[in-house]
Structure 1
Amino acid sequence: MILRILLRSVAVFVPVFLVATFVTFALRALSGLTPAHLQLGESATPETVAAIEREWGLDRPFLTQYGDWFAGVLRGDLGVSWYNGADIAGLLFEGAIVSLSVAGLALVIGVVLGFGLGVLAAVRRTTWVDRAITGAMTAVSVMPSFVVGIALVAVFAVGLGWFPSAGYVPADRDLGLWLAHITLPAVALSLDTVADVARQLRAGLVAAYRENYVTGAIVRGLGPRRIFFRHVLRNGMGPALTVLGLKFPALLGGAVVTESIFGMAGFGKFAADSAQRGDVPAVQGVLVVSVVLVVVFNLLVNVILARVTPASARGV
């Protein structure tokens, strides 16, 4: 069953990856930028531009360049930066550690709080608890992460001094400081995930409670706890897991603004700086890594869906 789900997911994701990498590589041709623009600036002449393009292999046919670049991507070689000649994979690895630390903690917060609040609202449906959680999640979902980030800095970093206001410390240097630096940006990023997961889980569980198999379980005398965990939760958590898969790209994208607020040199800052400089290979590397991360995460979500929800396992 799991193998079938994996094969079906790969059959979808491979064409997506191929199209995404082709479009990504076509950015250079569409942008009209070359390394000469970064190295020579306004002093560039047609002769010097042609010489630098020849040096970088940009005078070859487009499909030949794409084939060589794609082969390098499959080997983990994303090329070198036009800006400083540095290895792009190495630069991205350094920034990705920062961003994945923040996005990973935000995902954990979103899962724990989202599932907890969604279950509580569903179990206490139609009560004041359900209405309070639903109202709070609606309010949270419309709050931009950068506004939340600024408020968190003002209250918990500047006002109370509980957390650092900016910067990043690697986990291998000091685990406590690492967690302290990523907590506020992770909380700012996680609130939208918490709200959407909680609302989708609540709706899925309430719908599952209305199914005939739950009524039959009650008639057979099964306890509320057993009914919830064996029948309601497994069949009602599918929409929440699907939303969770869609939220991961949003977490990576939200890191661009959040990292700027908290002064973190992460994936988003590297992407923004590269785009402003016109460093096309670096931007291409960012897009490729983003596509890979999103594809892998959605593949994991599909496997989890097939494992825990009967309808997904049957392809329903």
Structure 2
Amino acid sequence: MRRALSILAHSVAIFVPVFLVATFVTFALRALSGLSPASLQLGESATPEAIAQIERQWGLDRPFLTQYLDWFGDMVTGDLGKSWYNGADISRLLVEGAAISLSVAGLALLIGVVFGFGFGVLAALRRTTWVDRAITGFMTFISVMPSFVVGIALVGVFAVGLGWFPSAGYSPAERGLGTWLAHITLPAIALSFDTVSDVARQLRAGLVAAYRENYVTGAVVRGLGPRRIFFRHVLRNGVGPALAVLGLKFPNLLGGAVVTEAIFGMAGFGQFAANSAQRGDVPAVQGVLVVSVVLVVVFNLIVNVVLARVAPASARGV
């Protein structure tokens, strides 16, 4: 527990300045973009006087640092401001979209962990055999398949052809877990291929390297059984690379949701971000980036703590 708390404190010390810099850069988007709410509300024919009046209403005539500090203070309390496009509360819109995207990304991550660990362990236990070569080849094949191609193929086969799943839309879990899972299964599978392949390959490499260590040879000499050697020595010391890669895959799952949600007709986090960017709705884009940064930071904190707890070598920097 002391080691896990130490790793948590170290991770927080790293991620807090990263978060501060990321939020500052995010807020600077409006000044860098040159966009204004007047361009959305008045169009290209707006007069300079009308533009100045609208910017004054939104508080954009104040000094930059004053705007940033006010925005940061509201942001840490959960208030991400109002949309330039329709004046809607951005926090509420993001919560609605994030529920969809996190459902898909969460299931994709679960699929990636389960199948990635399964294939990785099997390849390591059957290393240098045809099973190992077949799994490695299959993982390489699915790693180069874009999620939008996989999504279109899944819709054509399992939704249109076989009718096992709905082809588009989203149903909240409150309306039934079965219906909810049916709507998010195909997009989650489409997103999970890259995670499955990377986790499997990293786990296989870590386990094979662990099997070559002297402490495994010593365990065999002492007469320990293969199962005990695997779970007590090999898995704990070889799982580190696979856990580390999960911290890198979560942002990819959120980013890949933009195209996947468009294919499956979901009004999720990614679709909201894309629509906001196309409209030039800077506060909405800023809200999307802030939420994305928070999700990625929190997930990486969890991964670091689990990694320090499960893999002892990671806590020593090995």
Shift of 1:281: 0.1
Shift of 1:43: 2.3
Cα distance in structure 2, aligned partners of 1:53 and 1:222: 73
Partner secondary structure for residue 42 of structure 1: coil
Aligned to 2:119: 117
String of CA shifts for 1:183-237, please: whole Å, max 9, x gaps.
Answer: 0000000010000000000000000000000000000000000000000000000
Aligned to 1:50: 52
Shift of 1:301: 0.2
Matches within 5 A, 1:237-316: 237-316=239-318
String of CA shifts for 1:231-276, please: whole Å, max 9, x gaps.
Answer: 0000000000011110000000000000000000000000000000
Cα distance in structure 2, aligned partners of 1:61 and 1:207: 57
* Candidates 208, 220, 230, aligned match of 2:222: 220
Matched residues, number: 316
Shift of 1:16: 0.5
Letter in 1 for 2:314: S
Matches within 5 A, 1:1-316: 1-316=3-318
Shift of 1:313: 2.1
Cα distance in structure 2, aligned partners of 1:235 and 1:255: 33
Shift of 1:314: 2.2
The answer to which of 306-315 and 266-275 deviates more is 306-315
Letter in 2 for 1:10: V
Partner secondary structure for residue 306 of structure 1: helix
Cα distance in structure 2, aligned partners of 1:248 and 1:306: 19
Cα distance in structure 2, aligned partners of 1:143 and 1:42: 42
String of CA shifts for 1:101-142, please: whole Å, max 9, x gaps.
Answer: 000000000000000000000000011110000000000000
The answer for unaligned runs of 5 or more in structure 1 is: none
Letter in 1 for 2:188: A
String of CA shifts for 1:54-103, please: whole Å, max 9, x gaps.
Answer: 00000000000000001111101100000111100000000000000000
TM-score computed with the length of structure 1 as normaliser:
0.99
TM-align CA RMSD? 0.5
Cα distance in structure 2, aligned partners of 1:6 and 1:77: 27
Shift of 1:173: 1.2
TM-score computed with the length of structure 2 as normaliser:
0.99
Letter in 1 for 2:86: N
Cα distance in structure 2, aligned partners of 1:109 and 1:229: 22
Percent of residue pairs bearing the same amino acid type? 84
Partner secondary structure for residue 274 of structure 1: helix
Shift of 1:298: 0.3
Cα distance in structure 2, aligned partners of 1:66 and 1:27: 11
Letter in 2 for 1:212: N
Letter in 2 for 1:249: P
Letter in 2 for 1:2: A
**Structure 1 stretches (4+) deviating beyond 4 angstroms?**
none
Shift of 1:282: 0.1
Letter in 1 for 2:73: A
String of CA shifts for 1:154-185, please: whole Å, max 9, x gaps.
Answer: 00000000000000000011211110000000
Cα distance in structure 1, aligned partners of 2:5 and 2:103: 30
